[in-house]
Amino acid sequence: AQRVTQPEKLLSVFKGAPVELKCNYSYSGSPELFWYVQYSRQRLQLLLRHISRESIKGFTADLNKGETSFHLKKPFAQEEDSAMYYCALITGGGNKLTFGTGTQLKVEL
């Protein structure tokens, strides 16, 4: 069965420091991976997807099939990056979106 693991519940960094939110997945097929973000009191929204290979708000994520990872990175954290981040995997031909348990990112001044 598919599974998404986010080992850190809380990650606290100082403004300007690099950020890496870890995500590992288990799936025997070809995965479609996403990062969703939930700012305080707002709904979840898509941050980026691996197939697009784009940078959103300075964040990037590279799919590493060998390590089955999709870590989210940003070189310089900003205060507005403070939020809950969820890694997600689509499987089953697209009918099942599985989320990790989420990582709360706190950027301190």
Partner 1 sequence: EAQVTQNPRYLITVTGKKLTVTCSQNMNHEYMSWYRQDPGLGLRQIYYSMNVEVTDKGDVPEGYKVSRKEKRNFPLILESPSPNQTSLYFCASMGSMNTEAFFGQGTRLTVV
Binding site for partner 1 (CB under 8 A): 6, 9, 32, 34, 36, 42-46, 49, 51, 86, 88, 90, 93-102
Residues in the chain, total: 109
Minimum CB distance to partner 1, residue 107 (Å): 21
**Contact between 2 and 98 (Cβ < 8 Å):** yes
Residue 90 burial by CB count (10 A; 0-12/13-18/19+): exposed, middle or buried? middle
Between 4 and 19, name the residue whose CB sits nearer to partner 1. Answer: 4
User: CB of 79: closest distance to partner 1 in angstroms?
Assistant: 24
